Amino acid sequence: MYIATIHKDEDTAYSVGFPDVMGCISYGDNYEEAQANAAEALSLHLNAMLEHGEPLPVPRALDELQVAAKTDEVIAGLLEGAVCVGIPYLADLAKTTRIEIEVDAGLLAAVDSYAQSYNISRAALFSSAVREKISFV
């Protein structure tokens, strides 16, 4: 989970930065859009780092960033006046893993009906729903 800083100045969009992922920025016309765009920007940025063989930055907790801000002006500037929110990084590993889960029979019937009506698999629906729930998009 990476900490995103969300700023809103008068007459501007919401801007988003990541103290642990310098150069990863995003914007949104409202808070919810900024949060969703931040999740997408983080994913794209970190995936690009992996593709180039770069190590991923280690995410720090908010209290660690606050301590770092005492000696790092850039981090201090990102944290100042910001709403801070944790954004998960969902790595796309391009491989699947079989799992066994238990769900209510009625929920499973609804899942199967929905999946069938959209011509997708049960697994694809579960994956899509979980990705959407976790990543704000």
Q: 96-137 is classed in which CATH architecture?
A: Orthogonal Bundle (1.10)
- Report CA 109 to chain centroid distance, whole Å: 30
Q: Tell me the domain boundaries of the chain.
A: 1-91, 96-137
Q: Report pLDDT digits (tens) over 91-132.
A: 776 778 888 889 999 999 999 999 999 899 888 888 888 877
Q: For the domain 1-91, what is the CATH code?
A: 3.30.160.250
Confidence of residue 136 (pLDDT cuts 50, 70, 90): low
The secondary structure of 24-74 as a DSSP string is -EEEESSHHHHHHHHHHHHHHHHHHHHHTTPPPPPP--HHHHHHHTTT-HH
Question: Structure pTM?
Answer: 0.72
Specify the residue for token string 């959209």. Answer: 118
